[in-house]
């Protein structure tokens, strides 16, 4: 019986690196690294994963997780329900943004959008020297 469900692997511009999102069940145990006891329940986690050939590897302590629902015992049906709902929760996007900031990652979809936006703003009919001769506020203050 699987106790984790991969939601998606989000490609980044860094070679062979994705942000993996998953929902998993933790049976509750002492957490010696963070201190205290982890609650028993369903957790959502996001972390960078390096994929080489058929292997996926995580860097220790590089991801983040949050408790979605505290439960008394494991249910595969409830794990599937939580996994189906997690994409619509506000915490989903927030944790992805947090991981991007923590590791300085850029998602492949964002890079493509940025390139498309840059391509739209470059107008080949305007000569380059006209754009270079436009005075800026800083240049005007020096002249004055």
Domain ranges in the chain?
4-119
Residue 134's pLDDT band (cuts 50, 70, 90): very low
User: Quick check: pTM over 0.75?
Assistant: no
Q: What is the mean pLDDT of residues 49-74?
A: 87
User: DSSP characters for the chain?
Assistant: ---EEEEEEEEBSSTTEEEEEEEEEE--EE-TTT-SEEPSEEEEEEEEEEEETTEEEE-TT--EEEEEEE-SS--HHHHHHHHHHHTTSHHHHHHHHHHHHHHT--BHHHHHHHHHHHHHH--TTS-HHHHHTPPPHHHHHHH-
pLDDT digits (tens, 9 = 90+) for 82-108: 999 999 999 999 999 999 998 888 888
């Amino acid at each position: 019986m699987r106790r984790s469900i991969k939601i998606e692997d989000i490609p980044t511009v860094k070679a062979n690196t994705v942000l993996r999102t998953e929902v998993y069940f933790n049976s509750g145990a002492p957490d010696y690294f963070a201190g205290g006891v982890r609650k028993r329940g369903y957790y959502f986690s996001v972390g960078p994963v390096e994929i080489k050939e058929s292997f996926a590897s995580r860097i220790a302590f590089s991801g983040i997780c949050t408790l979605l629902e505290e439960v008394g015992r494991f249910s595969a049906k409830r794990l599937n329900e939580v996994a189906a709902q997690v994409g619509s929760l506000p915490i989903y996007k927030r944790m992805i943004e947090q991981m991007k900031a923590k590791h300085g990652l850029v998602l492949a979809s964002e890079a493509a959008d940025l390139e498309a936006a840059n391509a739209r703003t470059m107008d080949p009919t305007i000569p380059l020297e006209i754009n270079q001769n436009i005075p800026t506020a800083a240049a005007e203050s020096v002249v004055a």
